[in-house]
Amino acid sequence: MFGQTQSLFLILPVVLLFLGAPIFLILLTTALVTLFLSDMPASVVQTVMFGSLGSFPLLAIPFFILAGEIMGRGGIAKRLVDWVLAMVGGVRGSLSLATIVSSELFGAMSGSAVGTLAAVGRLLFPALRANGYGDRFAVSLIASSGAIAIVIPPSIAMIIYGVTAQVPLKTLFTAGILPALFIGVIDAIYVLAYSHMKRIPILSKEYRLNFWAATKDAGWALGTIFVIFGGIYGGIFTPTEAAGVAVVYSAVVARFIYREVSWRDLWNIAGSAATLTAQILLIVACAGVYSWVLTTSGIPGRVVDYITALQAGPVITLLMMNIVLLLVGSFLEPPAAILILVPLCLPLAKAIGVDAIHFGVIFAVNLSIGMYMPPFGLNIFAANLIFKRPIGEIYRGLVPFLIINLVALMVITYVPAISLALVSTGR
C-alpha cells in the first residue's frame, strides 16, 4: 500500500521517539528526511513552517493559554473547582469527579485542550496525590479530561472544521454539547468505580463547602462562561475574538475583584504563558511541515482510496474512518489533521449518508482521543512537560481512559441523535 519512502515516513518517528528525541524535532527530522529521499524542494520548509502559524483561528491559542494561566493563578479556577467540590465533596472519588467536571467547564471557557490540562491540572494534581491517587492515575486523568475541550464549544478544532467543511459554527457548537457531556458521564462512572475499588478516602469536611456560599464566591468565575457564550451566540464577537475577551475579563476579575494577583504577577503570568505558547507553537510549526509532507506523499489520499475501493457498508466504512482519524490524530495536532483529512473524508462520509454536522462531532471526538493517544498525543507531552512524569508511565495510565472513550466514540458514531438532537429542530 505504501512505498519505501512512505513507510520510512511512518517508521522513523517511532524510532526517534524511543531514542528520546523531543516531539518538535521528531516531526521536523522526519519531514526533512522524507523531503531529501523524495527529491522534494527543501526550500518549502521555512515557507510551510511559518505559514502554518499564519492562521487567524490559531490566534486563539495564545489568548486562551494566557486566559487559562490567569484563571489558574488568579483565583478563578480555584473558585470554579471549589464550586464543583461543593456539589460532589461528600462522594468517594469526588476529587477525580471534580477533575472531569472542572475540565468540562474550563474547556468551555478556554477552547484549548492544553490550556485546560494546564489550568485544571496544576490546581488539582497536588490534591489528587495527597488524597491517595497515584501519580500515574492523576496525570492520566488530567491528560484525558483536558482533551474534552476539543469537543465542547467553543472548540478551536470545531472552528477550523466548520470553516473547512463550510457548516455553520453555531450549529456545530450546539451539536458538540451532548457528546461532550456524554463523554464526561462515561469518564465519571469509571473514576467513581476506580475510587471505590481502591478505597480512596472521602474528602475532609474542609472541601465540603456550603453550596450557596461557594456559588456566590464563584459567581465572577462562572461569569466567564456567560461572557464567552453570550458573546458568541449573541453575535457580538467571533470565537477567536472571544479568546481575547476571556483574557481581559479574567485579568479584570483576578486583579480587581478577587485581588489575588498584582501587576507584577500578571507580568510573570504573561511570561509563563508566552513560554508555554512558544513551546506549543514550535510543535505546531514543525507539524505544519510534517503535515505538508504527509499530504504531498499521498498517504492520506491512498488510505481513503483504499477504504473506498473496499465498497464496504456504512458501518464498516465509518469504523475504518475512525481508525484512520485516531491514527492521524495521535500524530498530528487537530488543526493540521482537520485541514488534511476533511476535504478527503467528508465527501466519503456524505456518500454513505452521514450528516456533515454529525461527522464534525465524530471528527472532533476522534481528535480529542488522539490528543492523549500514544505515541504522539499532544496532551501526553504537555502532561510530561508540566508534571514531570515519565512518558512510559503516562502511556500505561492512559490505557483504561482510552478504552472507555473509544466505547463512547463508537456510541457517538453510530447514534447520530446524540449529536443532532439539539440542532435538528433549528435546521
Q: Report pTM.
A: 0.77
Q: Write the CA distances from 275 to 118, 280, 347, integer angstroms.
A: 13, 9, 40
User: What's the grid cell of residue 5?
Assistant: 519512502
For residue 1, the model assigns a pLDDT of 44
Distance between CA atoms of residues 239 and 426, nearest Å: 21
For residue 57, the model assigns a pLDDT of 63
Distance between CA atoms of residues 379 and 377, nearest Å: 6
Distance between CA atoms of residues 168 and 236, nearest Å: 16
| DSSP-derived secondary structure for 278-292 | HHHHHHHHHHHHHHH
pLDDT in tens, 216-228: 888 888 888 888 8
pLDDT interval class at 38 (50, 70, 90) = confident
pLDDT of residue 159 exceeding 70, the answer is: yes
Q: What angle do CA 316, 322, 327 make, to 5 degrees?
A: 130
Mean pLDDT score, 227-233: 78
More confident residue, 252 or 329: 252
pLDDT in tens, 76-127: 877 887 788 777 767 788 888 888 988 888 888 777 787 788 778 877 888 8
Q: Write the CA distances from 28 to 32, 120, 219, 256, integer angstroms.
A: 6, 31, 45, 44
Q: What residue ranges do the domains of the chain occupy?
A: 55-426
Mean pLDDT score, 403-410: 95
